Amino acid sequence: MKNWWIRFGCFLTGYNYMILRSCSEASAKSLKKYTAAILIVCIVWAFVGFSFTQRYLHTTSWGAAAGAALMVLIVIQIERQIVLSLNPSLFLFISRLLIALMMAVLGAVVVDQIIFKDDIELEKMSFIQNRVDSVVERRTRDLRAQLESLDTMITVKEKEVASLDSEISKKPHITSYVTSSIQRSRGLDSNGHKLPSEIQTITTASQQPNPKIESARSIRQIIEKMRNEKLAKDSMLLNSRPEAEKQINTKVGFLDELNIMFSLLKKSTAARLVYILWFVFLLGLELLVLLSKANEKENDYEKVVRHHMELQKRKLDLLANMGT
């Protein structure tokens, strides 16, 4: 069991098991300490990654598990930058501190959103209501303007149809006249000569429906279309609030909930206290490995690694000298 735990610690920290097993118990204890610290941070960030992925990226449980695994992988690689450094520089410590601050802020935000889920839902109702009121007011204003425009156009068209109907009732048919000329032979005169033909003009009268009847029918079709459009817009006006609530409820994302949570933090001292506690807790976890590395003297594992490095350098120098 002990050997298994050390192998697992080597996997997490990047230590070489073959070198470590020949080192003293002090190196093994250092490894166990780093392993415990990294494991604690990994567990916390696996929970944060799982919750964030499932809640805001709307993935399945498998997708959320993949998000948790990705966060654990990132944490391990970050911690290895400190653990595997033989001579960690001040810049490395400062960089890790900045990363720890950012991760603590983000982690505290995500954890608080889970802890204050019910409170956020209550605040979200007010938030959504305000947004719905704004959207409905704008949509209502636009729809009312369109309805007024349709009413005006319908009134104009109805007057136009009434005028046409009045004319049609007075004159339902229009009489048209067609004039044609026919040459008629006059026969022969007394001497047997052909008389000049006579041109006879014939006027034919015909009655046709007043063409304004078709114009009135066309205008009535336009009025019918406008009335249908008005009915559709009336329905949109009546359903504007339910539709807006449905759309906005499905569009509340991470930033919206973040704003809601910050609003909650401003209002509630208890919420601020919980956020600060989680921030300090996560920051402390993030700095566990960093503080352990900063306050620990070089162990024999690191001395062996350094010794191997020096031997390799000497070999390379000898090979370079032999080559020259």
Q: How far is CA 76 from CA 50, 70, 98, 286, in A?
A: 16, 10, 17, 11
Domain boundaries, the chain: 173-209
* Rounded distance between C-alpha atoms, residue 309 and residue 303, angstroms: 10
Supply φ then ψ for residue 189, to 5 degrees.
-85, -170
pLDDT of the chain along its 324 residues, tens only? 457 888 888 888 888 888 888 888 888 888 888 888 889 889 988 988 898 888 778 788 899 899 999 999 988 888 888 888 777 777 877 888 888 888 888 888 888 878 777 777 777 777 778 877 888 888 888 888 888 888 888 888 888 888 877 877 777 777 666 676 666 666 666 666 666 666 666 666 666 777 777 887 888 888 889 888 888 888 888 888 888 777 777 666 667 777 777 888 888 888 888 888 888 888 888 888 877 777 777 777 778 878 877 787 788 777 777 765
Q: Are 205 and 179 in contact (CB under 8 A)?
A: no
The model scores a pTM over 0.95: no
SS3 of 198, please?
A: strand
Predicted pLDDT of residue 194: 64
Q: What is the pLDDT of residues 224-258, one digit of tens each?
A: 898 888 888 888 888 888 887 777 776 666 677 77
Give how far the C-alpha of residue 26 lies from the chain's centroid of Cα atoms, to the nearest Å: 52
